[in-house]
Structure 1
Amino acid sequence: MGIINKVQYTSVDDMFSGDSLSECNLFSGKWVFDNTSYPLYKEKECKFMSDQLACNKFGREDLSYQNWRWQPHHCDLPRFNATRLLERLRNKRMVFVGDSLNRGQWVSMVCLLDSSIKDPNLKFMNYNGSNLISFKAVGYNASIEFYWAPLLVESNSDDPVNHKLPERIVRSQSIEKHARYWTDADILVFNSYLWWRRPHIKVLWGSFEDKNGIYKEVEMLRSYEMALKTWSDWLEIQVDRAKTQLFFISMSPTHERAEEWGASNDQNCYNETNLITKEGYAEYRKEGHPSTYRKQWETLSEEQLSNPSSYSDCIHWCLPGVPDVWNELLYAYIFRQ
């Protein structure tokens, strides 16, 4: 993968005109190093950056993870144009719904848009203490929001702060508690998978306040299927597809087991500074995670400090980084429809 000196992009309109719509698979491609056009924004200049994702701020010095762009094999990914997207979002709501990975993509989107709004009085963040956080682009009357619902349906993990519980319980047939906040959105971007990674999850029939509710341990895939059925039924009934664009973000790879790329089986993404170059691997960006370079929400023990791999975050992604590419793909699909 060579260094790109100049990157050529087609416009979204040209890219998706005529036969290119059916011919171009945006997800079939490779990572190309490009330190001319990337990163698309600077970490320190995004006032809305999350401490969970600000790897340079928390000590990471090798910043090449910021310079990789995604290159489809048979076309070019359109350049992200923040002003054009804001015009598309004028008088509208764009809502990311899901877990912390979707929150990371939302932070990325906010930083991509933030850099194009020079007047600090024309943008602000609204934290109302609930599951919903809103970035407002005042000049466009546009709202780009994140709603915490890691399992999409109602669960005992719905508190955006206090959700680390030993036992996970979902109400697989209950979604209205969350969904009423999304009903009038113009673009909805969902994700949900990370919180389902358990052999079994307890499902509740009844409410959390009802002492007579029925609890049952359900195999993970079945409980996930039940929740997605509730979610899709709600979309079918409540969402006007003529008004609202719907997206579901698929699984984001983790790099928690270094043996997957031929390293020691007791290691993970800690100290990784190069991506995987071998063709055919599921996800090449093992160097793109925060690892130890993030705010630690809890005091680390002496045992943890002696073994950095034990507290390395190999799930989320540094910003600028991989989620920016997700948003470039999302941008292309927003204008594709």
Structure 2
Amino acid sequence: MDSFKNLCNYFFSKSRTHYFFTTIFTLTLIVFFFLFSACSDGGPASPPAISSTSLPSRRRSPSDELTPLPPPAFLSGARLASQSYTACSTTITIPAEKTAEEKFDSCDIFDGSWVIDEGSKPVYEPGSCPFVDDSFDCFKNGRPDSDYLKLKWKPHACKIPRFDGVKMLKLLKGKRMVFVGDSLNRNMWESLVCAMRESLSDKTKVFEVSGLRQFRSQGFYSFIFKDFNCSIDFVKSPFLVQEWKFLDKAGTRRETLRLDMMEGSYNKYYDADVIVFNTGHWWTHQKTFQGKYYFQEGNHVYNKLAVADAYKKALKTWAQWVDENIDSSKTSVFFRGYSASHFKGGQWNSGGSCDGETKPITNETQLSPYPWMMRALESVLMKMKTPVFYLNITKMTDYRKDGHPSIFRRSSSNIKNRVFQDCSHWCLPGVPDSWNELLYAILVQSQNQKLSSFVH
């Protein structure tokens, strides 16, 4: 009994009682902390999955017809066999309660293949659209084969909605969409105008503001869809930054490219509702690629600057301008990636050709390495504050060696102008129609996300 009393006195003495309860309290807090962490995450902590839905969203207004898209989710793509074709990808989601055609889970819509769709027709018939540039109208220029029109882009992991011109016009009602860039963006712009025009019963309600028909030499064009009070515009800006001239020491005016200055046409589109940018092909021209006394920043003209460094500087100038001047609560910004060319035996001005190609590439190992331009672009996009949706069409175009005008860039009666083949641009109807179908899918997704937010 005395031993038991002594033990009690030992534990419940004033000083020891303090230490005893302090220890118990500390252990209880540690156990509680671990239990709370496990329960709040539904299990052990793990890195969050990256998807478009995990990114910050902005408040939406019921009055908005078009909701700006969230920032793109950049996911590292799998390296393809025998080449370095690794790309950033973007996932999109459409709510499951939509129609069967619009049901698809979160997936990379730019990861897929071209499939033959015998039962479907082009979104506009060959030769039917008066707005197609002469150099893109392969049907009128005498191209005899038509299998290239039967191929449709099919993502591997989902089904995208088929292009609906009327629905597209309703999404853009009261809005202004502008394509800014080089002639490959003109290719895409004409495709979209023709596809939406085809959906209308009264095609006289579509007209071009300037009244001109030749799109090669002019810098700005606008088509109005009168019944929907919307316009689809094209602004020529092949580098996105400003082409310039300066006087050298001998007093000769020399061409340069101001890498630190946006091309001056930005006042024609900065406040548009949707802007689709691109740049790429003009950076492969000889004077650009050599880089001698061509690139300029401020008053400094580089004696020699690698085109890859110049391209990234120009993109940073573009990105800074977008971040400082685009109101992302009003304007949705897209950037379309590099469109593949398929010259064999030289370039456009040195005997390069692609005529006779009637089938696409089907083996991924035959694709070209992933372009350095797109790696540069992706590194810039990921550092931007403004949400930009990346239309990564590079791989899907690399398959389509059959889709270019080649010798059918001019009428077959004009033999003199058939010397140079066009293996960069695309026949219309053709490959750019699929780019616009993906653009349409993204805009549908944006609208559905907005409607879903009101329901919930």
Unaligned runs of 5+ in 1: 1-10, 158-166, 207-212, 260-265
After superposition, the C-alpha distances for 1:177-205 in whole angstroms (9 at most, x for unaligned) are: 12111111110101101011124261234
The CA deviation at 1:257 is 2.5
In the other structure, the counterpart of 1:133 is 221
Kindly indicate whether residue 168 of structure 2 is the aligned counterpart of residue 85 of structure 1: yes
1:238 aligns with 2:325: yes
What are the Cα deviations for residues 199-227 of structure 1, in whole angstroms up to 9, with x where unaligned? Answer: 42612345xxxxxx542242111111111
Deviation at 1:94, TM superposition (A): 0.3
The TM-score normalised by the length of structure 2 is: 0.60
Name whichever structure is richer in helix by fraction.
2
Which letter does structure 2 place at the counterpart of 1:325? S
Contact 1:16 1:336 in 2 (8 A): no
User: How far is the alpha carbon of 1:34 from its aligned partner?
Assistant: 1.1
1:273 and 2:358 are equivalent in the alignment: yes
- Judge conservation of contact 2:352–2:421 (CA < 8 Å) in 1: no
Deviation at 1:267, TM superposition (A): 6.2
Q: Point out where structure 2 has 5 or more consecutive residues left out of the alignment.
A: 1-92, 213-217, 246-253, 368-397, 447-456
Aligned residues: 297
Using a 3 Å threshold, how does the CA distance of structure 1 residues 14 and 200 change in structure 2: closer, same or farther?
farther
Distance 1:60 1:215, change over 3 A: same
DSSP-derived class of the 2:358 partner:
coil
Paired with 2:405 and 2:429, the residues of 1 have a C-alpha distance of 11
In structure 1, distance between residues paired with 2:262 and 2:333: 17
How do residues 99-178 of structure 1 correspond to structure 2 at under 5 angstroms?
Answer: 99-127=182-210, 131-156=219-244, 169-175=256-262, 177-178=264-265
1:93 touches 1:143 (CA, 8 Å); kept in 2? yes
Deviation at 1:278, TM superposition (A): 1.5
Q: Tell which structure's C-alpha radius of gyration is larger.
A: 2
% of aligned pairs identical?
A: 38
The reply on whether 1:253 has 2:347 as its aligned counterpart is no
Contact 2:109 2:438 in 1 (8 A): yes
SS in 1 for 2:296: strand
CA distance in 1, matches of 2:326, 2:438: 23
- Select 2:179's aligned residue among 87, 96, 99: 96
Letter in 1 for 2:437: E
Counterpart-to-counterpart distance in 2, 1:322 and 1:279: 18
Task: Tell me which amino acid in the other structure corresponds to 1:322.
Answer: V
Q: From the superposition, tell whether residues 156 and 184 of structure 1 become closer, same or farther in structure 2 (CA, over 3 Å).
A: same
Contact 1:245/1:334 (8 A) holds in 2: no
Query: How far has the Cα of 1:20 moved from its partner?
Result: 5.0
Match of 2:445 in 1: 336
Go from structure 1 to structure 2 and tell me whether the alpha carbon gap of 1:85 and 1:117 turns closer, same or farther (over 3 Å shift).
Answer: same
SS at match of 1:229: helix
| Structure 1 residue 15, shift from structure 2 partner | 8.9
Report 1:291-330 matches (<5 A).
291-295=406-410, 311-330=420-439
Partner of 2:46: none
Structure 2 CA distance, aligned partners of 1:21 and 1:75?
A: 6
Deviation of 1:128 after TM superposition, in Å, equals: 7.6
Distance 1:30 1:102 in 2: 22
What's the counterpart of residue 200 of structure 1? 291
